[in-house]
Structure 1
Amino acid sequence: MAALRIWAIGALFMALLVSAIAVVYFQYRARLIFIEIQQQQNALDQYEIDWGKTQLEITMLLEQNHIESAALNQLKLVMPKHEDIIYLKP
């Protein structure tokens, strides 16, 4: 009877030890996953900032004034005279 009681206490101690190790392991895994989530959220925030900057740049580049000034200054284009314009009818 005493041997059975010692064996039961040993089994309970092993179950307690395994349970404690499992708690530590899963807490460690939860921390690793939380750190990865934080890193992914930071990356997402940076992508959203870059997306906003890109949208702003596209909007600025598509403005008529910017296109016209680039054509005049960088490409040295000039507006043709009214009599030089040829209209084609379909």
Structure 2
Amino acid sequence: MTLHLTPAEAQSKIENIDKQMMDVRRLASQILDQTESMTASSWTGGKAAKFRGIMTQHHEDFNYVINNLQHIVDKGKSDINALVSHDAD
């Protein structure tokens, strides 16, 4: 099996992956921000506090998954760069 990837294609793929990871982090942050906004103003009481607690736990879970994905992404980027460097030799 042969992989052909130019340095420009590799950089484009890396930038695309970085953008997608940034989008995922932004979405997780927006979910938490909206939850906090909703439960701090228009929705109060025990159910709101319980919901906020659940969503905070979800946010922590999201961050755990996102951080693990980031490790995979970093390894993939390193592998792509190594392949491009190897092809250039």
**TM-score interval, smaller chain:** 0.3 to 0.5
Q: Which has the higher helix share?
A: 2
TM-score by length of 1: 0.47
Structure 2-normalised TM-score? 0.47
- Say which one has the larger Rg: 1
